[in-house]
């Protein structure tokens, strides 16, 4: 019997924790882990609760019933089974450090998912995807005047392969609002090579060098129609000095990018990230 995990959020009210725990107890379940947070400024209650259903219970039916109960409390609920392996599509352009890091972690069993396919606007990583990692590869050229066609093909592939998550592993294309809001069937995680909200957009390491900053960073966030403005999942920084060149910043930053993206993807796959408004709560 797989465990169930619920991510809940909604207006705060007295007794929510007791009510959700009581529902699980009354249905014979055993709570394995529970954590909650109250966003006082927004008056939003947020909870992650994981439990083992009673022997003989139908996990899908129990998850649906708990979701209905949560709705009666005014809560939005996302329910996941512990034995699910989400299907992930990895998007990459010419820089392969984040792509290879994700794929190596996946082959080592660190990421609880199945890689449905790799897609790119270039062919440089086709042999690696097909021959080394043994996953399907799709080359989707992106011409400025035909970008909508490229996005439509990517969305069709995601639906065809039942993708639950798209990961932009330094995929150097700006996904349109139409793709993210209408065409894409799954959330998208992006890695941006700066400590957002500083230095959004192109060439952030060059921007950082020009400003003489003392820290550089990397940010994994959910992609939204506004460039580099989506809810932040994870960030990390590295100290730098005036002696570092742009090339040094790129090298240091790429190490950060790999670590930050992998952790953000792992937390998402483990159902530890709840996005609401313009931010997230991550239950570590």
Pairing of strands 44-52, 87-92: unpaired
Tokens of 159: 């639906």
**DSSP code at position 129:** I
Q: Round to whole Å and give the CA distance between 83 and 102.
A: 21
Which candidate in 12, 228, 248, 255 is catalytic?
228
Residue environment code for 203-220, b if the CB has 16+ CB neighbours within 10 A, otherwise e: ebbeebbeeebeebbbbb
CB 198 within 8 A of CB 225: no
Q: Round to whole Å and give the CA distance between 93 and 168.
A: 9
35 as an active site residue: the answer is: no
Element (H, E) at 150: helix 147-160
**First-to-last C-alpha distance (Å) of the chain:** 24
Q: Round to whole Å and give the CA distance between 250 and 204.
A: 9
In the three-class reduction of DSSP (H, G, I as helix; E, B as strand; rest coil), residue 11 is classed as strand
Annotated catalytic residues are: 228
């Amino acid at each position: 019997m797989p465990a169930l995990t619920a991510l809940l959020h909604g207006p705060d009210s007295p007794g929510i924790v007791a009510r959700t725990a009581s529902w699980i107890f009354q249905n014979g379940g055993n709570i394995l882990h529970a954590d909650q947070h109250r966003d006082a400024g927004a008056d939003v209650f947020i909870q992650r609760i994981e439990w083992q259903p009673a022997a003989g219970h139908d996990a899908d039916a129990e998850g649906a019933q708990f979701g209905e109960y949560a709705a009666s409390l005014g809560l939005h609920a996302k329910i996941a089974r512990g034995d699910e392996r989400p299907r992930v599509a990895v998007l990459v352009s010419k820089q392969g450090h984040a792509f290879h890091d994700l794929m190596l972690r996946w082959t080592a069993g660190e990421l609880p998912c199945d890689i449905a396919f790799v897609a790119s606007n270039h062919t440089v990583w086709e042999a690696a995807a097909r021959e080394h990692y043994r996953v399907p590869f799709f080359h989707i050229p992106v011409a400025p005047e035909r970008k909508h066609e490229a996005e439509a093909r990517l969305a069709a592939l995601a639906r065809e392969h039942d993708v639950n998550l798209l990961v932009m592993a330094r995929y150097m294309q700006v996904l349109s609002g139409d793709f993210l809001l209408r065409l894409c069937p799954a959330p998208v995680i992006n890695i941006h090579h700066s400590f957002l909200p500083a230095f959004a957009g192109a060439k952030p390491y060059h921007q950082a060098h020009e400003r003489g900053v003392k820290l550089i960073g990397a940010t994994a966030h959910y992609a939204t129609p506004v460039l580099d403005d989506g809810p932040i999942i994870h960030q990390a920084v590295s100290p730098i000095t005036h002696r570092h060149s742009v090339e040094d910043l790129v090298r240091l930053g790429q190490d950060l990018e790999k670590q930050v993206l992998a952790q953000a993807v792992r937390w998402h796959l483990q159902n530890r990230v709840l996005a609401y408004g313009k931010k997230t709560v991550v239950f570590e």
